[in-house]
Amino acid sequence: MKRKSLWLVLFFVVLFVGAAFLFGLCASFFSNFSDEPNNVFSRGNVALVLIEGEILDSQDVIDALQEARKENHIKGVLLRLNSPGGAVAPSQEILHEVERVAAKKPVVASMGSLAASGAYYIAVGATKIVANPGTVTGSIGVRMDHVEFGGLLKWARIGHETLKSGKYKDLAPLDRPMTEEERKILQDVLADIHAQFKEDVATRRKLDKRKVDELADGRIFTGRQALELGLVDELGSFSDALILVGKLAGIEGEPKLVTFEKSKLKFLERFFESVDLLTKAFHSEESSKPVLRY
């Protein structure tokens, strides 16, 4: 029985590695059809920087923002947000970089269908925020997910032992419920991160802290509600936001939008990147740790 289970696990590992290999091969093949330059903006005067999906890493967005800040022919930045939020630290890093750009040239945040939590947090660093009337935004709060498999492990008769050098080194463990003391520690961390979120919104949106406290209970708002509450500056579409960037930047005529191109990875780089992600997915000890999320 154990040998059968082992072969089953090996089969799935080989299957996933093979899929990652094929993905890297295809991505490398198709990327060769593009002759556009890498890591530079093509000719134009407004840089488009996209933030889409869950925010788990900040490097690509920071690279784009830094390039936009340094390029003299880029007169403004259109930051397009379509994201439910994500990890706290990457959101804070991106906000910091947005503010660095905004100190030198105008940045307009354009909200798509969804720009909530961490995505809204990033938007407050922009010169102006434009939302559609039906955009879902807000969700000013912090959460931490934790799954406990103690009962399942006991049912499956799987033993698990943790050796540690500090009392709280295994905070939020996988194999047992949290104690009240551990829960309080984590709740205090959440409260501090939440306070940072509220302070940043109040400061950058020039809102009364008591008003922000009332709004910052995790609830969502439509773009129209957000405008009434002072969370955004205008209602409008992507095109309206682009026109606004042009006006703020003093661009004569119609602004020309250009997109940051990430450097294309070679085949082996893509392959090993895929394998690395696969390895991390199988590393249950890391994946079981709670993550702070906006």
pLDDT tens column, 135-156: 999 999 999 888 887 787 778 8
Q: What is the pTM of this model?
A: 0.77
Contact 105, 249 (CB under 8 A): yes
Q: What is the pLDDT of residue 174?
A: 78
- What pLDDT shows up at residue 70? 94
User: pLDDT tens digits, residue range 46-102?
Assistant: 999 999 999 999 999 999 999 999 999 999 999 999 999 999 999 999 999 999 999
Active site residues: 117, 169
Strands 234-235 and 128-131: parallel
Residue by residue, DSSP assigns 109-141 as EEEEEEEETHHHHHHTTSSEEEE-TT-EEE---
Cα 40 to its chain centre, rounded Å, is 23
Asked: is 35-146+172-293 a CATH 3.50.50.60 domain? The reply is no
Report domain extents, the chain: 35-146+172-293
